[in-house]
């Protein structure tokens, strides 16, 4: 499985429980060469907002891969502000990080 696939699968599952957004961090270039700035370096792959309006940040990694110092710093900062944040190596990890409960399922 690729990291992109893991992100997709996590987004699909989290989307059943609230709002989910894929984020892009850093600077990148379009096909036409235009420079685009995304979220700050280290920002997590996924922003999830539960039905109570609480944010959760999920950084997806394949087993054996490590988060960068910027990613760890971002996660720690979000946790200090009271948000849920962490590194997910699986869909189940993401559900645990976001503390998904059956009562949050959107029909």
Q: Domain segments of the chain: what residues? A: 3-104
Backbone φ and ψ of 49, nearest 5°: -125, 120
Q: What are the b/e assignments for 24-58, b being 16+ CB within 10 Å?
A: ebeeeeeeeeeeeeeeeebbbbbbbbbeeeebbbb
Nearest Cα neighbor of 74 from 27, 100, 39 is: 39
What pLDDT is recorded for position 30?
87
What pLDDT is recorded for position 105?
54
How far apart CA 48 and CA 4 sit, in angstroms, is: 17
In the structure, what pLDDT confidence band is assigned to residue 102 with cuts at 50, 70 and 90? low
What pLDDT is recorded for position 28?
82
Q: Could you tell me which CATH number the domain at 3-104 has? A: 3.40.1350.10
What pTM does this model have?
0.86
When pLDDT is averaged across residues 73-100 and rounded to a whole number, the result is: 96
């Amino acid at each position: 499985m690729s990291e992109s696939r893991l992100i997709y699968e996590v987004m699909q599952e989290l989307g059943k429980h609230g709002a989910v957004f894929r984020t892009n961090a850093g600077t990148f270039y379009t096909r036409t060469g235009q420079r685009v700035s995304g979220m700050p370096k280290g920002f997590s792959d996924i922003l999830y907002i539960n039905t109570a309006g609480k944010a959760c940040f999920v950084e997806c990694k394949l087993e054996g891969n490590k988060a960068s110092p910027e990613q760890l710093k971002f996660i720690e900062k979000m946790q200090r502000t009271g948000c849920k944040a962490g590194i997910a190596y699986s869909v189940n990890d993401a559900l645990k990080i976001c503390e998904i409960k059956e009562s949050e399922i959107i029909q």
